[in-house]
Amino acid sequence: MSIKMSAGELAINGGRPIFEKPLHVNKPYSAERSKYQEYFDRAWHAEWFTNDGQLVREFEKRLELYLGVEACVLTTNGTTALELTLRALKLQGEVILPAYTFVSTANILTLMGLNPIFCDIDPDTLNLCPKACAALISDRTVAVIPTHIWGRPCAIEELQALCDHHDLKLIFDSAHAFGCKTPTGFIGGFGHAEVFSLHATKSLHSFEGGFVATNDVDLAETIRVSRNFGFTALDLVEMPGTNAKMSESHAAMGLANLDEFGSIKRRARACFETYMKHLGDIPGLSLSGPDSSFSSNYHYVAATLDSSRFGITRDDLVTILSAEGILARRYFYPGSHRLKPYADAFSQTQRSLPVTDMVCADSLILPGGAAMDSQDAQTVCEIIKLVFDAQPKP
Ligand code: T4K
């Protein structure tokens, strides 16, 4: 692939896009099809495709062993995993969460009649700010749901102490953090429960899917029963439940990918380090990288752009990259608090989330993860450098 030599060759200026086949953010990385097939054949031969099948049970055991937790309960996706957890904890009232996260959390809270209270984030970690969280706790608060954003663990101990003090449930949204580890253990073993997504774009995926990890075996059992209509035995329904069962086909994909997870992490790391090496010293562009406080899955290449130093805005950079076939994304713009279902209620409280607003305006996710070729990552860096070099300097 020929690298562009001047800004005049950029696609936005009429040149050919550098990538004919667009590069997506977090394109799925999957085990070889034969490995998936091997697992799926077991379900095929057993003629058992869903309802707590052998592959789902095996996948759950393997996740429990990997994460070192008492119980993992697989579901159809991360959103249903959270819904079942909230139902099992019988919550009613206000729940504090970041607005800088996927809107699914605010949505499910609202659909369940809970009241989402958006909280600001820490500018360095982009995770829920414990101090801001403490200021929002009232006698209506029942739970806190922080997200380990882009795989970086939240201020777990501080948030746990805060929730213990106020007798609140603490549920982590760990959708980005499979395989991430703190000095005290894998993400998955903290709070009342941690909720993971196994969506195709996640570090470990099962096409669609999710699970709850918890050390509370009673909570896990309630979730397990409620994902299957509330059945505890044949003809016996203990509670109103729903259908959130993972199929054997999805579990087969999850198992095949879990077998490969060591290499998934290595490949993602190689890609991430390519970005670090080539973008590390561009003024105004900061990558949210791992530090010595945790071990990352390296799945996300999250950056923030200070336009006053880089020379153009985040949105302009995204437009220029998109023209080149580099489909960087503005996650989680504009923040859940500014999306239609929440914006009016949020503005009525006259609260503000200055850090969230700043991060939503400046952050972008570059194509990364195990499926991203490191050579392509280097090309992305060269285009970004070319764009930076083309800006007039003071
Ligand atoms: N909490 C957090 C923090 C989350 O990020 C999510 C989900 C959840 C909770 C909820 O978990 P789930 O209920 O989803 O299990 C996507 C995903 O649908 C969503 O799972 C994910 N977060 C969210 C961040 O991204 P979109 O609307 O941005 O997806 P889409 O279709 O634009 O795809 C994303 C990128 O991946 C694109 O660059 C295209 C590429 N892609 C996508 C798919 C599905 C592929 O290359 N191949 C594919 O098969 O929501």
Atom of ligand 1 nearest to the CA of 101: 3
Residue-level pLDDT at 126: 97
Average pLDDT over residues 14-19: 95
Residue 16 in this model has a pLDDT that exceeds 80? yes
330 lines ligand 1 (CB under 6 A): no
* pLDDT for position 392: 85
Q: What is the whole-number distance in angstroms between the Cα of residue 11 and the centre of ligand 1?
A: 27
Ligand 1 contact via 24 beta carbon (within 6 Å): yes
Given a cut of 90, whether residue 292 has pLDDT beyond it is: no
pLDDT confidence tier of residue 2, bands split at 50, 70 and 90: low
Helix (H/G/I), strand (E/B), else coil: 145: coil
pLDDT tens digits for range 177-191: 999 999 999 999 999
Percent of the chain with pLDDT over 70: 99
Q: What is the dihedral of CA 75, 80, 85, 88, to 10 degrees?
A: -90
208 Cα nearest atom in ligand 1: 15
Residue nearest to atom 19 of ligand 1 (CA): 199
Give the atom of ligand 1 at the shortest distance from the alpha carbon of 207.
Answer: 49
pTM value is 0.97
pLDDT digits (tens, 9 = 90+) for 98-153: 999 999 999 999 999 999 999 999 999 999 999 999 999 999 999 999 999 999 99
pLDDT of residue 101: 98
The average pLDDT across 18-32 equals 95
pLDDT at site 186:
98
Ligand 1 atom 24, closest CA: 102
Q: Is the CB of 201 under 6 A from ligand 1?
A: yes
- Give strand pairing partners of 195: 173, 212
Q: Is 155 touching ligand 1 by the criterion CB < 6 Å?
A: no
Q: Ligand 1: distance of its center to the CA of 206 in Å?
A: 13
Whether 106 contacts 342, CB under 8 Å: yes
Ligand 1 mean position to 201 CA, how many Å?
Answer: 6
Q: Which residue has the higher pLDDT, 392 or 354?
A: 354
- Give me the torsion for CA of 213, 84, 106, 371, rounded to 10°: 50
**pLDDT, mean over the chain:** 96
With residue 196 as reference, give the H or E element that holds it: strand 193-197
Question: Of 212, 147, 151, whose CA–CA distance to 178 is shortest?
Answer: 151
Q: Is the pLDDT of residue 22 over 60?
A: yes
Per-residue pLDDT at 1: 57
The per-type count for the chain, helices as H runs and strands as E runs, is: 14, 16
pLDDT per position as a tens digit, 308-359 = 999 999 999 999 999 999 999 999 999 999 999 999 988 888 889 999 999 9
Task: Tell me how far the alpha carbon of residue 26 lies from the centroid of ligand 1, in angstroms.
Answer: 9
Give the span between the Cα atoms of 256 and 251, in whole angstroms.
8
